[in-house]
Structure 1
């Protein structure tokens, strides 16, 4: 059994070797916010396989595509945002059954399904947004 993809497992020297970079480059990327490794008890960096894959992508974008680090940071942020949106779409699709068609925004802005005919719990600090669709007129 291998290391879980998101598990911070590798010290900086191992991660640097896996990514084909110098450890100082990894430190610089951490300071710039390109890759944010986990931390061990003594505050040492611990990189996951996802972090190593991100480091390789940073290197590819920089060397092969000629993109500067600010551009790479923006690309990574946008890819992360798209991934979160895709997860939300899948969540909404899984909730789209006839008994759960009303959605509201939760305290952190996440989408929450509310059973038809129920009001969402009131959040006083941030408010809530309810998506309302009128019923067709009765004949």
Structure 2
């Protein structure tokens, strides 16, 4: 069971959030906290939903409008989703690096350009000697 498992009926979620069940129904209608539905259409709240309900209560007590609360929750949910996506991409990248070590080898050129190198080769260093003579009049 994780924080997103829909396990609480509306009465239990309301008690955990310190709210009246009718308030939870209203928040659901407004789209602030949308629980999952069972086959019989009854609401089931997860622990994450309960935490969001508490956040709604806190923000409301601080004077934030319901529209503002909705926007804040949407942004927080987006951040959670993006963090999850970043973790997925980091995991995929780590797996790819383990599968094919040495494939991503490069060197920096004299002008900042990227020079791809084959695995096991070294960048050639420039060994010319340049003599600088200031302009003489």
TM over 0.5: yes
> What is the TM-score normalised by the length of structure 2?
0.65
Counterpart in 2 of 1:31? Answer: 29
Alignment of 1:10-49 (within 5 A): 10-49=8-47
**Two-structure CA RMSD over aligned residues (Å):** 2.5
Partner of 1:62: 60
Name the TM-score, length of structure 1 as normaliser.
0.64
SS at match of 2:115: coil
Q: Following the alignment from structure 1 to structure 2, what is the Cα–Cα distance between the partners of residues 37 and 93?
A: 30
- Unaligned runs of 5+ residues in structure 2 are 98-102, 104-112, 118-123, 125-137
Partner of residue 136 from structure 1, selected from 89, 94, 115: 115
Alignment partners' CA distance in 2, 1:34 and 1:54:
9
Return the index of the structure with the highest Cα Rg.
2
More helix by share: 2
